[in-house]
Structure 1
Amino acid sequence: MSTETKPSERVTVETTLNGTEVEQTVPAGTLLSAFLRNHEYLTGTHRGCETAKCGACTVLVDGDPVKSCNMLAAQVDGATVTTVEGLADGEDLHPVQQAFWDCHGSQCGYCTPGFVTNVVALLEDNPDPSVEEIRSHLTGNICRCTGYTKIIESVQEAAARMDGDGK
């Protein structure tokens, strides 16, 4: 029996997306990034290179950073997905978002959502990372506008604000 899907085959994806239960039926080959942008209208997840090299599409799946341009929507069935939109608490930005804003950790902003979600995962695992640990963790995210100095400063500021408790 073949495990290949037909172009017309559809799958139902049930996931917790930014704290809300979601159920959508989509074509089987729908990428997670397309699911988020085109089916759930969460446009903070950007598609940059579409080869999983730039990290602009990074989201959290069960707390782990993943590149949504390289993952099928069907793969998050039963999982918890958090996008940059799901980090804020109402009008209050997540400490990482606020630190990027305050420390000018973005310029054009295209890559910022991917950096922010990746940094949230880093600080959950390591609340006080060294500069080397920050650089190592962010190697999968590319910014074409900055020299990364302000991004590193933003991460350090977020870590200081979070006191290791996530908010």
Structure 2
Amino acid sequence: MSKFPEVGAKAPAFSLKRDGGGEVKLSDFAGRKLVIYFYPKADTPGCTKESIAFNGLKDAFAKADTAILGVSADPVTAQDKFKAKYDLDFPLGSDEQREMLEAYGVWVEKSMYGRKYMGIERATLLIGRDGTVAQTWPKVKVPGHAEEVLQAAQILT
């Protein structure tokens, strides 16, 4: 199992199925800044609040020349429904095989009520124009998070 990428490391390449069909790859964002936020499950309360917060700031992220990508292990059909229900205006990647999730170190052992299971740790990365990790947010708490990531994106050249 990989660990969460460190600042300054090259972002691991990926190619994922995405909402609406087709694929989304790291190389699609070459020369731009990219926010990748990992969320446990589409259409659950925390994931919905986080996605809506990023979507609400999409124009400010665009002004900062920063793309947004949400990633979970949900199937494409679930991503499609989630995106349509909340009118999200950025791609959602589907990693049912968990290859990217493991490469980015967010597929982790979790525990709830004493039961251990594998799942996605809510985390975010800001990747610079050169493809290196500029900033990380492991173990994200949703309130105010999208705003904090936007500030970092605005400062990053």
TM-score by length of 1: 0.26
Greater helix proportion: 1
Rg (Cα) greater in structure: 1
Higher relative contact order (CA 8 A, sep 6+): 2
Greater strand proportion: 2
TM-score by length of 2: 0.28
